[in-house]
Amino acid sequence: MVNMERWLNKVAVVTGASSGIGAATTKNLIKAGFQVIGLARRIDRLNELKSQLPSDKRQQLTVTHCDVSCTESVDKAFSEILEKFGGIDVLINNAGCAIGGQLCTMDTKVLEKVLQTNVMGVVRCTQIAFKSMKERDVNGHIIIMNSVGGHKVLTALPRLPVSNIYSPTKYALTAMSDIYRQEFAAFKTKIKITSISPGLVDTEMVNEKVRQRHDKCMLDPHDVAHAILYALSTPVDVQVHEIIIRPLGEIF
């Protein structure tokens, strides 16, 4: 039984909350008693998610538009959050994207979009959440949704590789997680950092060919959401720095 009492009524921000891992995590955090701010570009999907909650829980979810690849959008969304709630206690950096193609031939503007979403979006959201947690001297927690692709480049041979810049962005998150761990300690804060690296997850990011090949060997988004709850449930002096979670039988 996870121990979540200390998080009751605390403020959690979830990026990419409209589907997949983000939506599953949002539901779990609401059940755990958080006030959750769900951020995403697709407001209609966020409102649909809110309507699916029990009527007595809907007030715990605040729906806010945010495109994490755009610094101005992030700053606007977080400014509204801080004004309304006074601070952030937990940040789930979940938003991410993958666009198929080859690194040696793709339009650099497309690659920049992936970099801005997967790396710089995490940087900016974390900067704002860190400032809020540090100034209030709280036991905060920042979670980064990484990938097994951030620890090993997944081979596609003999097929043509299509992951291009995705794996490098996840390798960046692996390095950033340890940099944050060192910085948070050097600043003498009580903020934890956790990187969660799932294998293949059954989300909208999985293309149809991959789904057909691996439909019986994928994680459910709730499997990853449960891992987030585990990291949050640890005692204040315990930091789970890295979780790698794979579906049984995965051979990547």
- Give the integer Cα–Cα distance in Å for 22 and 79: 21
Is residue 166 part of the annotated active site? The answer reads yes
Conformational region of residue 20, where left means phi above 0, alpha means psi within -120 to 50, and beta covers everything else? left
Question: Residue 154 is encoded by which pair of tokens?
Answer: 């997944």
Q: Are strands 11-15 and 90-93 parallel, antiparallel or unpaired?
A: parallel
Give the residue from 76, 178, 93, 88 showing the smallest Cα distance to 130: 88
The angle at the Cα of 131, spanning 125 to 136, to the nearest 5 degrees, equals 130
* Residue 15 · residue 94 · CB < 8 Å: yes
- The owner of tokens 């209030």 is 136
- The owner of tokens 């947690």 is 133
3-state helix, strand, coil in the chain (%, to 5): 45, 15, 40
Pick the catalytic residue: 166, 171, 180, 230?
A: 166
The one-letter amino acid code at 210 reads V
- Give the integer Cα–Cα distance in Å for 146 and 246: 13
- Give the integer Cα–Cα distance in Å for 53 and 91: 21
**Collapsing DSSP states into helix, strand and coil, what is residue 244?**
strand
**Residues noted as catalytic:** 166
